[in-house]
Amino acid sequence: MLAVLSPGQGSQKPGFLTPWLDLTGTEARLRWWSALAGVDLVHLGTEADADEIKDTARTQPLLVAAALLAAEHLPMYDVSLTAGHSVGELGAAALAGVVPAEAAITLAGVRGREMAAACALEPTGMAALLGGDAETVNAAIEAHGLYPANINGAGQIVAAGAIDRLEKLAADPPAGVRVRMLPVAGAFHTPYMAPAEQALGAIAAGITPADPARLLLSNLDGAAVNHGRDMLQRLVRQVTAPVRWDLCMATLADLGVTGVIELPPAGTLAGLVKRELKATGVPEIVTLNTPDDLPAARDLIARHGMPPSHEPTMQFRVVVAPSAGTFVPATSLNEGDSIKSGQVIGQVATRQGPVDVPAHCDGVLTEWLASPDDPVAPGQPLARIGGHLS
């Protein structure tokens, strides 16, 4: 299985889109998207300096545009899964078919402007806490009246909140923890961004999303999202909710992802995946930064993706938890058993009572992805169903 990842804010570099403008149609596409985003994406991706592209209102649509531009040159129909970090989720949602590229660019422009405006309301910021025990780090963040905005895995948690509280945490960090203040405009993914969430929600309400055409992971809980409306609501909510990239990487491991392509500007997510998944098996990774990297990316898709064929091929669908609770698989079912669409494969025990988990297609129960009595979150993968489709 192959995953395509779309990076978030902080990964941008001056001039990183320059080599892409040599490809036919790229500049025209960027100028069209610039009109939608309300910023000059051609200038920002080629001539702007580091300070200019650090501006949240400019950076967010630039990153989404970069990911979508590069993906246009890949055989995405062979890609099984997409995911994005923070604003990168908009690019991932477009690549999964939930929203058109134009809608993703427009939403990124609104998101960037409104988050920048929210940052200006009071002095807030973010700091990366590197190393240490996660429970101890989270306790220190809470003790200082801050929020865990990004839980990135690989020993990295980002705290966010008032500047003076961040400075106190940096002066007295938990044992074995390094604190690095981040050059950002404010406390993203915290309640400080509530005005931005409200503004983005008002615009997103006018979009009619489609259900994902491939697996699409959510930063909210690392779960695969089945319905377009649900994903659109999650994209809005994510403005104030923590980014759980650690859970997204756990899902990559659970699903047995063997190949990863990070879209430009690539490197940050690839590094996190390498460090976090080294114990369970690091997938083969291609960081796609320039058109020169396209052959390697296409080769990876050819070897790890799902190429079309006139012969019957095995397709997989993931059954996810309908609600939070404890998973209880059907005792009569084993891996390898045939199942029918609508058949109940288990239940999620909740405080309100058991909730049935139905299969949404005919096929074979290829693999349980959750064990009996496991605590599960809404949308968490529970089982993989395989079926031959011609």
30-78: pLDDT as tens digits: 999 999 999 999 999 999 999 999 999 999 999 999 999 999 999 998 9
Lowest mean pLDDT among 118-127, 203-212, 257-266, 380-389: 380-389
Q: Please report the pLDDT score of residue 387 as a whole number.
A: 65
What letter represents residue 261's amino acid? I
Token pair of 68, please?
A: 């979508």
Catalytically active residues are: 86, 189
Between 377 and 30, name the one with better pLDDT.
30
Helix, strand or coil for residue 356? strand
Mean pLDDT on 130-139: 90
CATH no. for 124-181? 3.30.70.250
Residue 384 pLDDT > 70: yes
The vertex-265 CA angle with 188 and 243, nearest 5°, equals: 30
| Fold of domain 313-389 | OB fold (Dihydrolipoamide Acetyltransferase, E2P) (2.40.50)
Written as one string, the DSSP assignment of 254-293 is HTT--EEEEPSS-SHHHHHHHHHSTTT-PPEEEE--SGGG
Q: How confident is the model at residue 281 (pLDDT cuts 50, 70, 90)?
A: confident
Q: How confident is the model at residue 390 (pLDDT cuts 50, 70, 90)?
A: very low
The tens digit of pLDDT for each residue in 353-365 reads 899 998 877 889 9
Between 16 and 308, name the one with better pLDDT.
16
Q: How confident is the model at residue 205 (pLDDT cuts 50, 70, 90)?
A: very high
Q: Please report the pLDDT score of residue 315 as a whole number.
A: 56
Written as one string, the DSSP assignment of 71-116 is HTTS-GGG--EEEESTTHHHHHHHHTTSS-HHHHHHHHHHHHHHHH
Mean per-residue pLDDT over the chain, rounded: 91
Handedness of CA 285, 230, 204, 247 (dihedral sign): negative
The tens digit of pLDDT for each residue in 237-246 reads 999 999 999 9
The tens digit of pLDDT for each residue in 321-369 reads 877 889 999 999 999 999 998 899 999 998 888 999 988 778 899 889 8
CB-based contact 320:223 (threshold 8 Å): yes
* CB burial of residue 9 (10 Å; 0-12, 13-18, 19+): buried
Q: Which of 244, 251, 217 shows the shortest CA–CA distance to 95? A: 217
Residue 284 pLDDT > 70: yes
For a pLDDT cut of 70, what percent of the chain falls above it? 96
Q: Please report the pLDDT score of residue 196 as a whole number.
A: 97
Map out the domains of the chain as residue ranges: 2-118+191-304, 124-181, 313-389
CATH no. for 2-118+191-304? 3.40.366.10
Kindly state the helix (H) or strand (E) to which residue 42 belongs, with its residue range: helix 41-46
Written as one string, the DSSP assignment of 145-176 is T-EEEEEEETTEEEEEEEHHHHHHHHHSPPTT
CB-based contact 138:160 (threshold 8 Å): no
Kindly state the helix (H) or strand (E) to which residue 385 belongs, with its residue range: strand 381-389
Pairwise CA distance, residues 181 & 164, whole Å: 12
The tens digit of pLDDT for each residue in 150-195 reads 999 878 999 999 999 999 999 999 989 999 998 888 999 999 999 9
Residue 312 pLDDT > 50: no
